[in-house]
Structure 1
């Protein structure tokens, strides 16, 4: 029979598992190792104004979104007495505070956390429509045409034209036409008007330069210039081209940053701090909705996440059992009983779990030996063993508490049904094949459980299995390959020792 379909399935599982894991690491920046740190900026904006008291108050402020270099994690507001809603307008997000009656000085707060994500791609932005209603009064119309013609002759595309135009308004190259225009218009709106008149899509955007520990900072104006589907930022003051690494675009649609109705003397200032936090926590706090390719346990409630964090370790223990039984040849009492015992060791710690396991099994075997003289039916006998195991665990827990050994209380984490079947199997094995086989299988079970515990309790493995579900497909492929092994087991090679001696 051809093995090609089998190897195709194994190959598909490996490719799918690796692809899902790499995609989650690259696209969503989930770290490969535990303990990695990520830089997070916490930015607080304070809105101040004076409510007139003769009309309802409506405060409308632009909000930042995910962008190149930064990803929005969390956002909070402090606005007692105000209604608050988040709306989408003209491709941007805005916060709207409202109240019927307010008088005097008012303060509103908005706080957001941003994850520094250098590899994140900027969202797709549509170029703004060219303004066709540009009208210049005399003599500014002539000055504008001459400034445009001068910069146009020294440029090759929209970006170089914008750079030359901005430099013509700098102190070093500023001519009479530029000085005349600056007496009537602000630099930022003036540059946008000139670029639009030359047929170059552009608009003003507002950004915040992030510096640790700064307070009462204001937004700065930048000019966003488009050339087909590409865009870049220009500093209207210096003409520098590009997006600074510490620039957080607060408003990127060309709208007003803050609008206040029913109040006067409005303004907004910003304070900022930076700190590091574990990368896994930063990923969990991301506001991105889970998609099919971002299928993760993090979308579940925390209680369910804690449960799955343990469940996802079971395939690791199963892989250890398969390796030891198929390749090494270790005999165990029950196929996957060591995995369940290893799970109990995770809750009890290794030393406490080993002592508790040996005590329960030893006492259980003594009581099971007595039950064998009663000639009970199998179901009744196993049920009696289960009740006996529960009684033993209860007695050990009470005694541990009375003697102040709180670690002994964790013995309740042992799977009682599995312990009962283990005692039953060992007792039958003792009767049929003697104590030697009991020691071999019992010792093999303990060795396997300890190795499975060491693998499942490794911080790196716990991190990988919980954050990358594609690893489960890789484990499945490995177990299928091991299941196809038909060679000698390691412990069977000792049969050939006399041959090597001869």
Structure 2
């Protein structure tokens, strides 16, 4: 029978699990490692003006692909507020029927850097208006444009040459003359428009922790095909640093005000660090993703965190039994014991397990002399195990051993069946086989516990559910293994010694 469908299934499981995990990391922002910290910025815009009657104030809101909006709020007592978006431009508009005197409006945004610095925007085509220079400046502008044009190959390199010339007026008398009339940002934009190069002024904020009353700085965005590039007219550099936030990229103004005068916009900012996972959860909630496990009640989340560790334990057990060859009493009993160890801690759990099983074997040896039916015998063992656990718990409490109280987390039914199986094995195979299987079970349980009681494993098992598809694929692959187990190779040691 062809195994191609089987290997195709394995490939699909691996690919699906890996793809989902990549999606969770890159799209949902779930960190790969627990305890990761995410930098966030809280930026507050303060709008002040003098009002005289009905007022409508419209403020451009941050529009930067390199920052993700985590949350936003506005403080405007007595004003109506509307958040609108048109042609990619988001604006906050405050309105009131009557306002007099000095007014203050506040807008606060919590932003998360995401390192996406691409400014591609096919939905917007920059227009190139006609430029008319003042008399006496047209000759200087033409000379600057012609020199930059000769030293460039396309719109991007042409803008780069112009930006460097504007940033260094000492080397160009014509540039110095033009800067006497225009600021560096508007001048660079006008020079580009004169050469019919699509560009526009955008306003950005330099993010510095703890700064107050900062102003937006003009930058120039140049379009080359379907890509856009940023230039700093004050330094002549192309591109931007991580701490530059594009505030007004779409539209024509930062603030539109009717019914007021003497307007001003200033910015304050604070840098903060918070758990990256908490940030990702808040971002998913803000985007309305209702299928997240984090939307469940905390009790259910806690339950699922424990259940999602079971596939990890199953993978360890399959590996140790199929490839290593360890013997255990019961197939997945070590997984359940490992889960109990997570609650009791390893040393306490080992001591409690050995004491309960030892006492249970003594009692079970007496019950075997009564010739009881299996169902009656195992039922009696279950009840006796409960009594043993209760007795040890009471003894630990009276001795002040609070760690001993956690042995109540051991699964009673599993313990009862373990005692029953070991007792039968003792009668049929002898104490040696009991020690082999019992010791193997404990060893596998300890290894499984170490694999499950790990912060990275817990994080991946709950947040990257695609890992469970990969685990299934690994188990299916190991299920095809029919070779020698590692511990079985001991049988060939005499052959190696003969050589």
For the aligned pair, the TM-score class normalised by the smaller chain equals 0.7 to 0.9
Distance 1:291 1:18 in 2: 24
Q: Name the stretch that deviates more: 340-349 or 77-86.
A: 77-86
How far is 1:335 from its partner? 0.5
How far is 1:15 from its partner? 4.3
Distance 1:383 1:81 in 2: 73
**Paired position in structure 1 for 2:41:** 42
**Paired position in structure 2 for 1:348:** 344
Distance 1:374 1:62 in 2: 87
How far is 1:125 from its partner? 5.3
Cα pair 2:337 2:410 within 8 Å, conserved: yes
Q: Cα deviations across residues 104-127 of structure 1 (Å, max 9, x unaligned)?
A: 655554444444444664563544
Q: Cα deviations across residues 61-85 of structure 1 (Å, max 9, x unaligned)?
A: 33325523x4444445555676655
How far is 1:206 from its partner? 1.1
Q: Cα deviations across residues 453-479 of structure 1 (Å, max 9, x unaligned)?
A: 111123333344444333333322322
Distance 2:497 2:158 in 1: 88
**Paired position in structure 1 for 2:61:** 63
After TM superposition, the score normalised by the length of structure 2 is 0.81
The 5 A counterparts of 1:204-283 are 204-260=201-257, 264-283=261-280
Distance 1:229 1:357 in 2: 68
1:151 is aligned to 2:145 = yes
**Cα 1:381/1:270, change in 2 over 3 Å:** farther
Q: 1:171 aligns with which of 156, 169, 172?
A: 169
Q: Which blocks of at least 5 consecutive residues in structure 2 are unaligned?
A: none
The 5 A counterparts of 1:483-502 are 483-497=479-493
How far is 1:497 from its partner? 4.9
How far is 1:348 from its partner? 1.6
1:411 is aligned to 2:410 = no
**Cα 1:415/1:426, change in 2 over 3 Å:** same
Q: 1:333 aligns with which of 329, 333, 340?
A: 329
How far is 1:248 from its partner? 1.2
**Cα 1:123/1:191, change in 2 over 3 Å:** closer
Cα pair 1:321 1:336 within 8 Å, conserved: yes
The 5 A counterparts of 1:440-455 are 440-455=436-451
How far is 1:59 from its partner? 4.6
Three-state SS of the structure 2 residue aligned to 1:274 is: strand
How far is 1:483 from its partner? 1.4
Distance 1:83 1:414 in 2: 60
**Paired position in structure 2 for 1:317:** 313
Q: Name the stretch that deviates more: 59-68 or 280-289.
A: 280-289
Q: Name the stretch that deviates more: 142-151 or 218-227.
A: 142-151
Distance 1:67 1:5 in 2: 43
1:457 is aligned to 2:453 = yes
**Cα 1:319/1:259, change in 2 over 3 Å:** same
**Cα 1:103/1:196, change in 2 over 3 Å:** same
How far is 1:447 from its partner? 0.8
Three-state SS of the structure 1 residue aligned to 2:343 is: helix
Three-state SS of the structure 2 residue aligned to 1:154 is: helix
**Cα 1:275/1:129, change in 2 over 3 Å:** closer
Distance 2:103 2:226 in 1: 42
How far is 1:414 from its partner? 2.3
Cα pair 1:50 1:105 within 8 Å, conserved: yes
Three-state SS of the structure 2 residue aligned to 1:231 is: strand
Distance 2:341 2:75 in 1: 46
Cα pair 1:65 1:71 within 8 Å, conserved: no
Give the length in aligned residue pairs: 493
**Paired position in structure 2 for 1:478:** 474
1:140 is aligned to 2:134 = yes
Q: Cα deviations across residues 333-365 of structure 1 (Å, max 9, x unaligned)?
A: 211110111112112210111122223333334
CA RMSD in angstroms, aligned pairs only: 4.0
Cα pair 2:46 2:265 within 8 Å, conserved: yes
1:203 is aligned to 2:195 = no
How far is 1:188 from its partner? 4.1
**Cα 1:464/1:107, change in 2 over 3 Å:** same
How far is 1:436 from its partner? 3.6
The 5 A counterparts of 1:39-118 are 40-49=39-48, 52=51, 54-55=53-54, 59-65=57-63, 67-68=65-66, 70-77=67-74, 85-97=82-94, 107-118=104-115
Cα pair 2:28 2:284 within 8 Å, conserved: no
Q: Cα deviations across residues 75-97 of structure 1 (Å, max 9, x unaligned)?
A: 45555676655432320333445
Q: Cα deviations across residues 290-323 of structure 1 (Å, max 9, x unaligned)?
A: 899xx97567665554444333322221122112
Distance 2:325 2:131 in 1: 89
Cα pair 1:327 1:490 within 8 Å, conserved: yes
Three-state SS of the structure 2 residue aligned to 1:172 is: helix
How far is 1:145 from its partner? 7.9
**Cα 1:340/1:201, change in 2 over 3 Å:** same
**Cα 1:107/1:409, change in 2 over 3 Å:** farther
Distance 2:75 2:413 in 1: 54
Q: Cα deviations across residues 119-140 of structure 1 (Å, max 9, x unaligned)?
A: 66456354444255x575xx73
Distance 1:53 1:234 in 2: 39
Q: Which blocks of at least 5 consecutive residues in structure 1 are unaligned?
A: none
Cα pair 1:82 1:97 within 8 Å, conserved: yes
